[in-house]
């Protein structure tokens, strides 16, 4: 399903000296449909960077990412837009993941507004009920704004939004670190 070949990512530390540090170096990774893969390592070792490269959120310094055999870097903007629903992320810090001007319910349902065809005739209200039930949120909580929820509640909302479209790939960056379980 998704494959990274010889992925590397360098970041420049000092602009004027062009000193760069390697966040990810020559990584090969392949994840098939239905597989779960966990990356374990120290803080700053490149786990998040690798995930963001696989999702095409940041460009690799070298290497390539293939999704269903197609090189993401060679796709047009329209082709990438058509695929975007298949990739989702659950960030470690959900604080900036939801629009502060929208209720949590509006943010959870945003993917359906963008990819309406994925509703398959179901109502948004029914999908919202299904999603908040899956992640353990109450209807009263999703009627609030992001700043009115705890970190754990926010993370549950971000997870609900990520799974809404039944994506092929979800990159979870420490998804349970804020959950009150």
Query: pLDDT tens digits, residue range 116-145?
Result: 777 777 788 999 999 999 999 999 999 999
Whole-number pLDDT of residue 165: 92
* Within this chain, domains 2-75 and 90-172 share the same CATH topology: yes
pLDDT averaged over every residue in the chain: 90
CATH number, domain 2-75: 3.40.50.300
Q: Give pLDDT, residue 16.
A: 66
Give the range among 17-21, 96-100, 110-114, 174-178 with minimum mean pLDDT. 174-178
Give the CA count within 13 Å in the CB-facing half-sphere of 137.
29
* CATH H-level superfamily of 90-172: P-loop containing nucleotide triphosphate hydrolases (3.40.50.300)
Domain definitions of the chain by residue range: 2-75, 90-172
**Predicted local distance difference test score (pLDDT) of residue 43:** 87
User: Rounded to whole angstroms, how far apart are CA atoms 93 and 157?
Assistant: 12
- Choose the weakest-confidence range: 42-46, 75-79, 107-111, 173-177: 173-177
- Dump strand ranges (E) for the chain: 2-14, 19-31, 62-67, 70-71, 87-90, 169-172
Helical H segments across 57-123, by residue range: 77-83, 104-114
């Amino acid at each position: 399903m998704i494959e990274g070949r010889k992925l590397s990512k360098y970041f420049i530390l000092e602009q004027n000296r062009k000193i760069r540090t390697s966040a990810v170096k020559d990584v090969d990774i392949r994840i098939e449909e239905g597989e779960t893969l966990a990356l374990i390592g120290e803080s700053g070792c490149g786990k998040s960077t690798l995930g963001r490269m696989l999702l095409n959120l940041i460009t690799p310094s070298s290497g390539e990412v293939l999704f269903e055999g197609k090189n993401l870097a060679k796709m047009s903007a329209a082709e990438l837009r058509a695929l975007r629903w298949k990739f989702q992320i659950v960030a470690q810090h959900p604080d900036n993941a939801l629009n502060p001007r929208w209720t949590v319910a509006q943010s959870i349902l945003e993917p359906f507004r963008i990819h309406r065809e994925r509703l398959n005739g179901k109502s948004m209200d029914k999908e919202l009920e299904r999603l908040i039930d899956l992640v353990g949120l109450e209807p009263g909580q999703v009627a609030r704004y992001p700043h009115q929820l705890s970190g754990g509640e926010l993370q549950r909302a971000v997870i609900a939004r990520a799974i809404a479209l039944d994506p092929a790939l979800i990159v979870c960056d420490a998804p349970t670190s804020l959950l009150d379980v």
